[in-house]
A and B are shown apart, each in its own frame.
Chain A
Amino acid sequence: MRPIPLAENSAKFVADKGHEGHFDAKLWMIRQKRDAMARTIPEWEELRDLASAIKEHTLSNLVHYLETFEASAKRNGAVVHWARDAKEHNEIVHGILKDRGATTLIKSKSMLTEECDTRPYLESRGIVVTETDLGERIQQLDHEPPAHIVGPAHQKTTADVAKLFAREYGSDPASREPTYLANVMREHTRPLILEASAGLTGANFAVAETGAIVTVTNEGNADLSGNAPKIRICSVGIEKIIPRNEHLAVFVRILTPSATGKRITQYTSHFLGPRQGGEMHIVLVDNGRSARLGMEKFWTALKCIRCGACLDTCPVFRRSGGLSYESTYAGPIGMVLMPALDAHRYREFPKASTLNGSCTNVCPVKINLHEQIYEWREVMEKKGEKPFVEKILMNAAGRLLSHPGAYRAASQAANAFVRILPRWAVYNPFNTWGRQREMPAPASETFHEWYRKNRKHRGK
């Protein structure tokens, strides 16, 4: 597949001033709320250390905890399935639905099912799938993937949503009031929830000790999706395991402040077993996670709890737009996760960072995101995923900068040359720097020359 033209997509988003400004302001507001909430929790940094340590311990003993979880879940009456990859996951989910003659599925937001392209897979096999998370439903109606892990429709303004609902539901296009819009969605989605033959949720955590699937939501839509129909399916990435209930005391406290800047969500639900007369299926999905566990420099990205804090703080993500990445995960965590799946397709990702390090500082499980992005640049070079011209330039720079004599001659000649060039020649179409920026004016003499003239040579 062709590499994703991230820089090109981002440039288009920047040019769309209304949406770029809206997206940047909205996410920055969440970042500020996160700061304010973290300020009220004196042990915030200690919680980050604990969350990171619990995840690292669990990942280092993953087989043990997965088997413990499976045994607990079975004890609770759930059926546990194992899926090596997206294809197996989708086949298992479809198999469950098909065997029971289920044709309608409601689901809550799940990044794993985005990863697996589960919705299109099921739709193409005749299943009617309805998203129940407000933002995710908006994106579904507009035939767009989520633009943000936590707020799938963050890229849309209320005006966009009013227009979309008017088109889909015949509501008032001029009414942009959020409560009105939420009610429109509620009126149209509730019947689908009540009629659905099966429900699917993701998982924020899967507790090995209790076998519980834990979801953390505000709209209660995971509870509706998981409880209204008789068939409940939970899609769970194998990195979602935590050992015991008591560990939730750390994660529940750190997830919501990081994700939305609130102290806690409206609902934190533990799905233990099937409802009376129903079934509960848990699909444990690998999809590249075991392979990542074996990557010395990148395994800690499995600690991610999908809070989106790295997206909110990332100055590049806020101005690039979530959809520009054309991938399940975008921004800092996306730059770290996606290249492992397809280095060629995501070759531009590690470049889309200034390595400013803000993401690493907000990450509640202390993933060294900006350092991993830096490492990915090196991997891309080793894999031959670098543009030819860049390779030549870097090779030449490396040679020149390690030969002082040649470097001096070249820098002084270039300086003199630029001084005599006319403006149109300097600001040529190949000068990317100069498109919207002036170049620094070349100096009449370099520091090196000045020093030679003005200070006694003490060296050598």
Chain B
Amino acid sequence: MRVGLMIPCYVDVFYPEVGIATLELLEKLGVEVEYPFDQTCCGQPMANSGYAGDARATEELLVRNFAKFEYVVIPSGSCAHHIRNKMTAAAATPERDHVRSRTFDLVEFLHDVLRASEFPWAEFPRRVAVHTSCSAIRGLHEESMSERVHDAEFSKPKSLLRKVKGLEIAEFDRADECCGFGGTFAVNEEAVSVKMGVDKLDFVAKGRADCVVSSDMSCLMHLQGCAKRLGRNLSFLHIAQVLNGPRA
């Protein structure tokens, strides 16, 4: 199995430890991982803002970087959703369609492709609020959706986290309501964005969680930013960091 590792641009710059945890975790699970050096970004910041023309070259670079892999794994539901479901600015080639259909968020890759059944090296004795991004829920169907009341309830990230020794999942109100990040929305609609973030923190606090875990660092960057400013005592971790266990 040849797996190309894609690291989101903001993870590369702000959260390298998340990229490292993702790589180490995949290696521990016996996956041969390659990180193509010429990668930059998935093109979502431009495409999401309406600038398909400006996203095209970036998306085409991504296709060139990853076309040779059997699987592309990226530790972000949001980027995976863009690549699989919305990456249409790049010219329609067999390579583009190959990359689109073979790209997986880390959670999906662990849960659906590797079917990872245990993480014996991981231990995390904390009460964890699992925040799954809207892209991961409604774009990639990593969880059942609260609006679809007749669907069977499931959560891929939670079923992975339940395999971690000591970890307790804290349920909280409005769990699948958007946290307010939303890419450029976070700055275009700053006041509403922050209010959504603070509300999310309040619901998490009522669920008596001491840590928020997500497969999207972009949501956490926003939530952590709100929490730090308010002086809230809460930690934020990417799911790869929890599943990978303590750094060796």
Interface residues of A (CB under 8 A from B): 6-7, 10-11, 14-15, 20, 24, 28, 35, 38-39, 42, 44-45, 313, 315-316, 319-320, 350-358, 360-362, 374, 376-381, 386, 390-391, 394-395, 397-402, 404, 407, 411, 414-415, 432-433, 435-443, 445-452, 455, 457-460
Closest to A317 in B: B192
Closest to A354 in B: B182
Q: A358-B176, A398-B51 are in contact. List 6 more A-B contacts (CB 8 A).
A: A394-B51, A397-B54, A398-B57, A435-B194, A442-B14, A447-B7
The answer to whether B50 and A377 have CB atoms under 8 Å apart is yes
The answer to whether A357 and B150 have CB atoms under 8 Å apart is no
A404, A435, A447: the one contacting B40 at CB < 8 Å is A404
Interface residues of B (CB under 8 A from A): 7, 9-20, 23, 34-41, 43, 45-46, 48-58, 60-61, 86, 134, 137-139, 145-150, 174, 176-178, 180-192, 194-197, 199, 221-222, 224-226, 228-229
Closest to A363 in B: B147
* A440 contact set on B, CB distance < 8 A: 10, 14-15, 221, 224-225
Closest to A378 in B: B50
The answer to whether A437 and B13 have CB atoms under 8 Å apart is no
A407-B40, A447-B16 given; A378·B195 CB < 8 A? no
| Shortest distance between the CB of B3 and any CB in chain A (Å) | 12
| Shortest distance between the CB of A430 and any CB in chain B (Å) | 10
- Chain A interface mostly: helix
The answer to whether A351 and B189 have CB atoms under 8 Å apart is yes
* A391 contact set on B, CB distance < 8 A: 51
A437 to B53, CA, bound (A): 31
The answer to whether A315 and B180 have CB atoms under 8 Å apart is yes
The answer to whether A355 and B12 have CB atoms under 8 Å apart is no
18 contacts between A and B (CB under 8 A): A6-B189, A11-B191, A316-B189, A319-B199, A351-B188, A352-B188, A354-B196, A355-B134, A361-B145, A394-B54, A397-B45, A401-B46, A401-B61, A411-B13, A436-B194, A440-B221, A443-B14, A459-B37
The answer to whether B50 and A381 have CB atoms under 8 Å apart is yes
The answer to whether A35 and B147 have CB atoms under 8 Å apart is yes
The answer to whether A361 and B40 have CB atoms under 8 Å apart is no
A457 to B37, CA, bound (A): 9
A357 to B78, CA, bound (A): 13
* B18 contact set on A, CB distance < 8 A: 447
A14 to B198, CA, bound (A): 12
The answer to whether A354 and B134 have CB atoms under 8 Å apart is yes
Closest to A434 in B: B225
* B19 contact set on A, CB distance < 8 A: 447, 450-451
